[in-house]
Structure 1
Amino acid sequence: MTERGPLRLGFLMFPGFPMACLTSAIEPLRAANEITGQCEFVWRLLSETAGPVRCSAAIGFDPDETLQEAEGLDQLYLIAPPTAEFADPRRSPARLRWLDRIGVTLGAFSGGIFPLARAGLMEGRPCSVHWCYEAAFKAEFPNVPASDSTILRDRRRNTVSGAGAVFDLMLKLIEERLGREVMTEVACWFQHPFVRDEAAAQKVPVARGQGTADDLSPPIREAIRLFETHIEDPLRIPDVAQAVGLSGRHFERIFKRETGQSPLRYYHHLRLMKARQRVLYSNDSLREIAASVGYMTSSPMIRHYVQLFGVSPRDERRLTQSMRRSGPPRVEAAE
């Protein structure tokens, strides 16, 4: 019987990548190796170019090799902010496509789905997209089905919404390779509260509220689902009330009791939050963004945006881009 080798994973880091996603991937694999006393998992850090890659917390990580040097991998995951661009827009996507052709499972954590899709490797394939990036992703990649699942594995594509879900995916890989007992012990090492099923939906905060959508009653959850699916072509509130089987007054009362807002105000905030996603994570014009959230022109959207967020979309985009270039402020040591 041929001895099984370790599962070999690569993590391709882009500048500004979320550090929590990387540690959430490596730490459970390290623990599994320690618990079993065997090298069941090995990993390498990759980058497009040589030299340290600074994460979103401005901490530098030294890659083990460049993407062009990467060989012998079973799985490769892209870790990036949603605004990440390839340093070499010709060779790097070509290398990823070559790795796909030779059978490497490709995946993405959090904003890493953007460069993976930009490489042309997600056409027609469903993928997990973090709710923060959903509006920007759907606008840029209309032919890539975006899912609210925390984890989505489909035909050698593993996509994950955020750091907590990355930990869940690694637990799933550990279970498949070493069994549920080892997986459970790893989870308990880190006091991971529960292992989510791959079909589990993301936790999404109630817009301008204090809880998550799954805390709401079924009619209100369904109303919010209708709001979510009619951002560009807003629905009338009475029509939504009728669709969820409630009278207008009863719907208004229950909705405000559960969310703290009237349905109309909630819907208005939701549309502006979708606009904000595209302001922060796309290069779309304000005219295009306004149209995508149901405004005939950009002027009223800009006015409402300032009222809700306290800053104009142009200024917020400019400030965010400046912060991404310079990184977080450094803390000076006390003398």
Structure 2
Amino acid sequence: MNNRRGDSGAGTRRQIRFGIVLLANFTLTAFSGFVDLLRLASDEGDSSKPVRCAWSVIGETLTPVRASCGIQIAPWTTYDDAGVFDYVVVVGGLLHSGPPASEATLQFIRRAADDSATIVGICTGVFALTRAGVMRGYRICLSWFHYWDFVERFPRVDESSLVADRVFMIDRRRITCSGGRASIDVAAAILLRHIDTSAVQKALRILLVDDVQKGNAPQPHPPGLKPAAHPKVKRAILLMEQHIERPLSLHELARRLEMSPRQLQRLFKAETGEAPLTYARHIRIRTAAWLLTSSDRTVAQIASTCGFSDASHLGRDFRKQYGMSPNAYRVCGVTAVEAVPVAN
């Protein structure tokens, strides 16, 4: 299945078969980006013929599935009549609206994995893959935005297997993706396993994508973080966000970024003006400030959640940054966005 095929002998070349499962409230961008790259790379001209690869939308029934934007797409066939695929792609979207993946969907995912299909989870589709039990022993890429949702729903999953600082992850016969525009990058990475680079590049040019991302590219920054930072610094900050409760040491952070601690120190200082661990501490304090005004947790609980040894430790660092104690901050009703830190 992983042998790349040339463009000669199109009549005898076996199509790469994709089965696409749309979950309730799926993200339309993630679905359309993936399918459009398949469509454009599959044919020689501009006829959108499924020459190099074929795809179909499959579901438990033929009832239309609603995207998060309201558009509805009807499956082409049911799980029972779907046949065998090289890739089964599960596209998710909104987590807190609509029903979760049905048991029939989970069973189909399990059967596909047992049939040696490569299973692809896009956006929150990875939640369904995890529920289906097909991600044990594999690394899991998910959006930083849904990281804590995942940890809460799957507390038994080893957090060291979670990746929230990259756009997608290929781990043997499992591919997971943070969603959005990254679905185009995933589709390109898959097609490059099977067809000539020129066909994939043509499709990307038509879609006006000239900077297809590799799996180790960083996810975009959450709001409030410096947008024009070095890729290694972006990934470092996302790792800090990901490990607020159990902060990474400088050596562990550098190891994950495949850098020396000294290199990371220099690069981070040049890009942000701060040392990595100083920046990480400010992230944790900003998170504590948000929790003080958006939750009823005690200061001690917030301190633990944000990686401080106790309430006193949080209080000392909080006063340095905001000029008041955590309790005073909560009473004043100041939000993290409105507050002006007194120290950087």
TM-score between both structures, scaled by the size of structure 1: 0.69
2:181 maps to 164
Q: 2:95 aligns with which of 83, 86, 92?
A: 83
Which of 166, 173, 176 lines up with 2:190 in the alignment?
Answer: 173
Query: Structure 2 residue aligned with 1:97, among 88, 110, 113?
Result: 110
- Aligned counterparts, 1:178-189, within 5 A: 178-189=195-206
Establish whether residue 143 from structure 1 lines up as the match of residue 152 from structure 2.
no
C-alpha distance in 2 between matches for 1:128 and 1:17 = 17
Q: Which residue of 1 is the match for residue 24 of structure 2? A: 15
SS at match of 2:336: helix
Write the mapping of 1:27-66 to structure 2, written as runs, cut at 5 A: 27-35=36-44, 39-66=51-78
Q: Where does residue 124 of structure 1 map in the other structure?
A: 137
Whether the 8 Å contact between 1:6 and 1:41 is mirrored in structure 2 is yes
**Residues in 1 aligned to 2:284 and 2:220: alpha-carbon distance in whole angstroms:** 15
Matched, 1:308 2:336: yes
**Amino acid in the other structure paired with 1:99:** A
Quick one: which amino acid aligns to residue 89 of structure 2?
A: Y
Letter paired with 1:183:
V
CA distance change for structure 1 residues 204 and 214 in 2, over 3 Å: closer, same or farther?
Answer: farther
How far apart are the structure 2 equivalents of 1:72 and 1:221? 37
Conserved? CA contact 2:58–2:78, under 8 Å: yes
Give, in whole Å, the separation in 2 of the partners of 1:201 and 1:46: 31
Alignment-derived partner of residue 212 in structure 2: 195
Aligned to 1:325: none
Partner of 2:90, secondary structure, is strand
The runs of 5 or more residues in structure 2 that have no matched partner are 1-8, 254-259, 312-325, 339-344
Alignment partner of 1:208 is 2:224? yes
Distance 1:294 1:97 in 2: 38
2:306 maps to which of 280, 283, 293: 293
Work out the CA distance in 2 between the residues paired with 1:229 and 1:66.
38
User: Alpha-carbon deviation of 1:82?
Assistant: 5.6
2 CA distance for matches of 1:171 and 1:253? 35
Could you list the per-position Cα deviations for residues 182-212 of structure 1 after superposition, in whole angstroms to 9, with x for gaps in the alignment?
11111111110212223x2323326523415
Change (3 A) 1:121 1:213: farther
**Alpha-carbon distance in structure 1 between the residues aligned to 2:169 and 2:269:** 37
Q: Residues of 2 paired with 1:66 and 1:308: CA distance?
A: 49
User: Is the Cα–Cα contact under 8 Å of residues 272 and 293 in structure 1 kept in the other structure?
Assistant: no
- Asked whether the equivalents of residues 23 and 101 of structure 2 are also in contact (C-alpha less than 8 Å), the reply is no
Output the CA distance in 1 between the equivalents of 2:113 and 2:239: 37
> Residues 31-75 of structure 1: CA distance to partner in whole angstroms, max 9, x if unpaired?
123335661111111233431111111111111123344322221
Q: Is the 8 A contact 1:11 1:79 kept in 2?
A: yes
**Shift in Å at residue 110 of structure 1?**
0.9
Contact 2:129-2:135 at 8 Å conserved across structures: yes
| Aligned residue in 1 for 2:147 | 134
Give the Å deviation of 1:99.
1.7
- TM-score with structure 2 setting the length: 0.67
Q: Residue 45 of structure 1 contacts residue 63 of structure 1 at CA under 8 Å; is this kept in 2?
A: yes
Q: Partner of 1:115 in structure 2?
A: 128
Shift of 1:111: 1.0
State how many pairs are aligned: 286
Q: Could you list the per-position Cα deviations for residues 262-309 of structure 1 after superposition, in whole angstroms to 9, with x for gaps in the alignment? A: 945443235677x79xx9xxxxx9689955334879xx7994997237
Matched-pair contact (CA < 8 Å) for 1:138–1:146 = no
Give the conservation status (yes or no) of the 8 Å contact 1:80–1:112. Answer: yes
The alignment status of 1:72 with 2:80, answered yes or no, reads no
CA–CA distance in 1 between the matches of 2:13 and 2:194?
10
Cα distance between partner residues in 1 of 2:179 and 2:101: 24
